[in-house]
Amino acid sequence: MDIQSVKIDLIHWLTELQDKAVIKQLQGLKEQQERSFELNAEQKEELDGRLEKYGNGEMEFSPWDTVKSRIRNGAKEAL
């Protein structure tokens, strides 16, 4: 069953659902998912600043192997 079919099946099931406890659980799940993608003002500001730097070509990038090495070396020094 593809994802669209599953969604339609769930919609039909939900329209017939009478169990208030299950409906409350589904509402809680929906709210939890919505909150998980919200950024606070400080996070939005940081993201906007990084996007601006990226757009202006001001960001520096490193290869993954270099990043791993820096992390490992930093962890060793912390011990």
Q: How confident is the model at residue 71 (pLDDT cuts 50, 70, 90)?
A: very high
Predicted local confidence at residue 16, as pLDDT = 95
Q: How far apart are CA 29 and CA 10, in angstroms?
A: 14
Kindly tell me if the per-residue pLDDT of 55 is higher than 90: yes
Domain definitions of the chain by residue range: 19-79
Predicted local confidence at residue 19, as pLDDT = 94
Kindly tell me if the per-residue pLDDT of 36 is higher than 80: no
pTM above 0.85, yes or no: no
Q: Compute the residue count for the chain.
A: 79
Do the Cβ atoms of 59 and 53 come closer than 8 Å? yes
